[in-house]
Structure 1
């Protein structure tokens, strides 16, 4: 069971991380709107997890290899959109991990990996305690999706303090 304070805290932590880590320029705006249902918001899903002894959080970032997304994340490079986007997903998940470690010191984070969007209905098999999806629009042109899926092992509720959305690093070294 996940409490309403924890649901709100996870959402605020995700919003702050997405707005600072999924953009290529700190001046770009990342708009986030909740959506209903399990409809895929991209042909590829970049999956990352944050796990503790109390919960497992799956962050699924939906991305489509379209012209706007390719121009934004790849530019003129020859790499695939999903490969380039994985690093941004990793940065986003890492920022979430940094906020959550203040409440859960035993966290572990996965490396990102890509799945096809047809895998989304199988989230139900995990018997999650909380699932919420969002539509993201970056710099008015790039459309992404995100799904937060949280499975708990024990009752979970916490309150994360108000988060400052900064793009600056404090100089810490993280290996992913």
Structure 2
């Protein structure tokens, strides 16, 4: 069982993480807005995108999947890898998505000890239509708009193995950067 308090907390944690990690340059804007909840998760922008970058945070009580749906357009590639000479788009996007997932992980560690986090990997976006096979207790979709022009979407999928209940205090968020995390 996943409480409404937990759903609200995950929404806040994810939104804050995306806004602080996906906007790469000072002065960039990053809008994150929830998309309507649907029983069918394999439509809309996810269907239009070609790739899905997936990361997981796992504990004994739950597994949280974070999926970023991307279309590797020239605009998307230019934003994420354009200024990093000699590095490919996926490499830079993986690092950005990993930073975002790490920010979520740090907040969840305050409530759940012993979390594990995966490295990013890419799946074809059509795999999203099989999310229901995981029997998630909670799924949320988000539109992400950077600088009013670059559009991505994301899906959070929480599979619960026990009751998941916590409250996130958004006023107590510390801004931390540059820490090395060992796995």
- Taking the aligned partners of 2:30 and 2:173, their CA distance within structure 1 comes to 12
Residue 102 in 1 paired to residue 104 in 2? no
**Deviation (angstroms), 1:33:** 1.6
2:96 is aligned, of 88, 96, 99, to 88
Query: Under a length normalisation based on structure 1, what TM-score does the superposition of the two structures give?
Result: 0.91
Residue 59 in 1 paired to residue 66 in 2? yes
The size of the alignment, in residue pairs, is 175
- Taking the aligned partners of 2:174 and 2:51, their CA distance within structure 1 comes to 28
Query: Under a length normalisation based on structure 2, what TM-score does the superposition of the two structures give?
Result: 0.88
Structure 1, unpaired ranges of 5+? none
What does residue 2 of structure 1 align with? 2
RMSD: 1.8
Q: Secondary structure at the match of 1:23?
A: coil
What does residue 165 of structure 2 align with? 157
Change (3 A) 1:95 1:127: same
**Deviation (angstroms), 1:81:** 2.8
What does residue 148 of structure 1 align with? 156
What does residue 31 of structure 1 align with? 31
What does residue 117 of structure 1 align with? 125
Q: Check whether the contact 1:20–1:166 (CA below 8 A) recurs between aligned residues.
A: no
- Taking the aligned partners of 1:166 and 1:105, their CA distance within structure 2 comes to 19
Change (3 A) 1:74 1:116: same
